[in-house]
Structure 1
């Protein structure tokens, strides 16, 4: 298949929890006419590739290795077959990396859950990781949830589209920590404190509306922020539950994504086993009109939102479920299509140019 192709097929990669000698990154394709998801190939050689990110050109893929001795691997994507060729793997200073992102200015940034470290690396001419240009360690947790907030836990790091600010969701500290990003170096710029026991996990920026949204793992909520792209500041304006009123049981939100047109936002609920959709007010950015859809499996972790489909990685039922997405209403409809894969936890579409 040609991964630079037209609109009928979409190349994507799935990361999972697996041993180093087992298949752990899966190459798939989505037929956008039928919703059929097909497994093309699988790749071993990396332990627990639980988070993946592709570059804007669609020719490189990066994966963390979530482990006590963390690492990041870089891969070239073959332009015709989509096959991965490893460019190099670099060990990291910090335990259990859980998230990585690419800045528009050419750096890769990594967040470490267990040790609270942040790393920034330059990329060489092939796209592999070069020298480390910045390292910061968060210290101290809020302690509000004693078994989860005993220490700092940097759960994600997200860069704005200009590549000037980075936002770190620290689950252990109940903070979004803001950094100025200059030549790959992280410089503290401020932070926003969330209610005790929130546990911020993932974060997205709606650049066109000057709003941002964070999903909070420990109190089952999404926080809406006013976002200032000039000075990077955030202001909390709303907290809203990811669960329906009256739900009884344990549930932990995981991932959050905007629709491509910025009109809707989606979150995954592990335990309630659902995807929640909110409408976004075009003027204020506030969320309303929640609608819940069954996730098509157990423990929906990461998911991908396309113009026409939503694909959900259900970790505990070992499957990816495919939903048709209505672009006008944002509503999801199960297609019955999907794949059985072992412990899928991340889905990364590759668009290319």
Structure 2
């Protein structure tokens, strides 16, 4: 299940930490992008697809993209991108690798650093913890997640830990406190819950180890309110969005409600893809593939 395209916006010449965005298996277009609150002199958009990662200058006034250059995605198509500081990370789903690229601060140009085995098969998501010292990868095909140490210069060491949260682990993401990590598992209809120790990079299953979604829901991605008190899971297979409270002290999710992502009377086949929380925390966005809508 290859990802066709991923879009990532990075604030160049700035020390901020923009977030990554994802287009899922079978997608043909990017679904989300986010940048930090800082306003640097240059904004660069990275797009993965095929065998290359391309980057574009973003016109802040119009939103227009102006091509700059491309780099060959080492070890196969890059299917998901994440950025932290001066390094971009990409997973290659077909080759089971995760790679690191240095980002030139002034221009945004990419230079390959290294890549390592993803710790499982079908890597579908990569993220970075708030310290920038640990990289997380979710491996969809064999339902595993791995933690990688970040070396001096941004390169990756071999996987330090690999766990099996559940079938079709689709995403792995730390919460705003950087003390809890969550893994939506599409095939198991659960969201796995872990406590995270930023000093050592070790994940430990929470109690309980997971929270269930509806049977057949297919939890895909998770996003957090800026204050870390709420989490939102978009369910790919039944086109719903689930809201949870999040206890920062324990890292436990508690279900609040689940709503459809589709308009009343919508017909035909649909699956969901991405979920994003507005920086104010007042709005939540989700995308529908099939209906071709954003809610």
Bin for the TM-score computed over the shorter chain: 0.7 to 0.9
C-alpha distance in structure 2 between counterparts of 1:138 and 1:208, whole Å: 26
State the 1:39 CA deviation: 1.7
Corresponding position of 1:326:
none
Bigger CA drift: 195-204 or 156-165? Answer: 156-165
Out of 167, 189, 210, which is 1:191 matched to? Answer: 210
Gaps of 5+ in 1: 140-151, 277-353
C-alpha distance in structure 1 between counterparts of 2:40 and 2:145, whole Å: 37
Higher relative contact order structure (alpha carbons within 8 Å, sequence separation ≥ 6): 1
Corresponding position of 1:84:
110
C-alpha distance in structure 1 between counterparts of 2:128 and 2:172, whole Å: 10
* Match status 1:48 vs 2:81: no
* Match status 1:39 vs 2:67: yes
Out of 184, 187, 207, which is 1:172 matched to? Answer: 187
C-alpha distance in structure 1 between counterparts of 2:234 and 2:219, whole Å: 6
Out of 223, 226, 232, which is 2:242 matched to? Answer: 223
C-alpha distance in structure 2 between counterparts of 1:260 and 1:14, whole Å: 23
Corresponding position of 1:15:
48
What is the CA deviation profile of residues 13-50 of structure 1, one whole-angstrom value per residue up to 9, with x for unaligned ones?
1122x2xxx4x211012211122122211111331211
Give the TM-score of the pair, scaled to structure 2: 0.83
State the 1:9 CA deviation: 4.0
Give the TM-score of the pair, scaled to structure 1: 0.69
Corresponding position of 1:214:
233
Corresponding position of 1:163:
178
CA RMSD of aligned residues (A): 1.6
Q: How does 1:1-353 map to 2 (within 5 A)?
A: 3-4=12-13, 6-7=39-40, 9-16=42-49, 18=50, 22=51, 24-46=52-74, 47-55=76-84, 57=85, 59-67=86-94, 69-105=95-131, 106-138=133-165, 152-182=167-197, 183-189=200-206, 190-208=209-227, 210-276=229-295
C-alpha distance in structure 2 between counterparts of 1:12 and 1:132, whole Å: 28
Larger Rg: 1
C-alpha distance in structure 2 between counterparts of 1:228 and 1:165, whole Å: 10
Alpha-carbon distance change, 209 to 107 in structure 1, aligned in 2, over 3 angstroms: closer
C-alpha distance in structure 2 between counterparts of 1:92 and 1:35, whole Å: 34
CA contact (8 A) 1:169 1:177 kept: yes
What is the CA deviation profile of residues 157-199 of structure 1, one whole-angstrom value per residue up to 9, with x for unaligned ones?
1101232111000001100010111221221112111110100
Gaps of 5+ in 2: 1-10, 15-38
Higher strand share: 1
CA contact (8 A) 2:78 2:93 kept: yes
